[in-house]
């Protein structure tokens, strides 16, 4: 007869794995995007699968492993992992350091392949980097990767920098997630109605519905944010060169 194992006591307040829905299509004024926040320490999540939603995991802290339909991926700091629609996956972390992840989701119909975006490799790939005035953009998950609606990357600001020119989109919605530094951001339809001007810190997320301008401002410190796009798949500076030359006061794509 096998040994009878001991029971265990747990409390939700001391859970080593906490998944929180930050926003979804019901409360964000967005049509396709949703997002969750996951903190995990020396634990493993239950098996998850999002029906008709592709998922992109961003690792902000710690080393994790993500198992997607039986295949394991080691996802390091600032790496990203694209998970196709209807695909089962779980996240695990072993050790004393708590891992912190963002899980972005976007509506989709086609099941593509899992893709691991390596942060170290991206920093060495000039095809994925765009240099602007006092800003650098890294296109981690770009049009060269197959997806329904997703594009995701990082933008790093130097101190005392602003987005220029302001731009908006007719066919893309976005969220900006702030992960380094402190600053401010505007989201507005027309210059006359700039009424949404919040300060932004690490852990803040700002949704950007279609046709809203969305400039960001850094203050005394450098600033970094994740930009996650859902919609037509292009990066504004590749589609409209005026964004790179900054010779216009504002532009629409």
Find, among 146, 142, 120, the residue nearest to 130 by Cα: 142
What integer pLDDT is reported at residue 2 of this predicted model? 81
Terminal alpha carbon distance of the chain: 70
**Does residue 29 contact residue 23 with C-beta atoms inside 8 Å?**
no
**Does residue 250 contact residue 189 with C-beta atoms inside 8 Å?**
no
pLDDT digits (tens, 9 = 90+) for 74-122: 999 999 999 999 999 999 999 888 999 999 999 999 999 999 999 999 9
Single pTM value for the model: 0.94
Give CA–CA dist 157/47, Å, rounded.
37
Residue 138: helix, strand or coil by DSSP? strand
CA 14 to chain centre: 27
**Does residue 55 contact residue 83 with C-beta atoms inside 8 Å?**
yes
Contacts (Cβ under 8 Å, ≥6 apart) of 139: 122, 128, 129, 130, 151, 153, 235
pLDDT digits (tens, 9 = 90+) for 170-182: 999 999 999 999 9
What integer pLDDT is reported at residue 34 of this predicted model? 97
Q: 36 forms bridges with which residues in the sheet?
A: 21, 103
With a pLDDT cut of 70, the percent of the chain lying above it is 100
DSSP 239: H
Output the CA torsion 244→81→56→243 (10° steps): 0
Find, among 133, 168, 152, the residue nearest to 233 by Cα: 152
Average confidence score pLDDT of the chain: 95
Find, among 106, 170, 164, the residue nearest to 135 by Cα: 164
pLDDT digits (tens, 9 = 90+) for 16-54: 899 999 999 998 999 999 999 999 999 999 999 999 999
What integer pLDDT is reported at residue 172 of this predicted model? 97
Taken in order of first residue, the domains within the chain and their CATH numbers are: 12-117 (2.60.120.10), 119-252 (2.60.120.10)
- At residue 234's C-alpha, the angle toward residues 230 and 237, to 5°, is 120
> Which segment of 186-190, 207-211, 241-245 scores lowest on mean pLDDT?
241-245
């Amino acid at each position: 007869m096998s040994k009878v194992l001991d029971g265990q006591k747990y409390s939700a307040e001391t859970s080593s794995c906490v998944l929180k829905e930050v926003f979804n299509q019901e409360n964000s004024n967005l049509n396709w995007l949703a997002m969750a926040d996951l903190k995990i320490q020396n634990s493993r999540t239950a098996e998850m699968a999002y029906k008709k939603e592709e998922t992109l995991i961003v690792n902000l802290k710690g080393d994790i492993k993500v198992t997607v339909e039986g295949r394991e991926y080691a996802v390091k700091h600032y790496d990203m992992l694209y998970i196709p629609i209807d695909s089962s996956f779980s996240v695990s972390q072993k050790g004393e350091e708590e891992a912190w992840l963002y899980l972005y989701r976007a509506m989709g119909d086609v099941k593509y392949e899992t893709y691991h975006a390596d942060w170290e490799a991206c920093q060495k790939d000039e095809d994925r980097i765009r240099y602007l005035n006092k800003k650098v953009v890294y296109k981690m998950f770009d049009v060269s990767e197959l997806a329904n609606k997703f594009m995701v990357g990082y933008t790093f600001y130097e101190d005392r920098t602003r987005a220029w020119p302001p731009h908006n989109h007719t066919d893309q919605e976005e969220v900006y997630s702030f992960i380094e530094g402190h600053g401010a951001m505007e989201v507005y339809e027309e210059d006359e109605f700039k009424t949404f001007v919040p300060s932004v810190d690490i852990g803040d997320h700002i949704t950007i519905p279609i046709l809203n301008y969305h400039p960001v401002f850094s203050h005394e410190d450098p600033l970094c944010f994740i930009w996650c796009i859902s919609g037509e798949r292009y990066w504004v500076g590749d589609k409209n060169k005026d964004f790179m030359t900054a010779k216009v006061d504002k532009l629409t794509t």
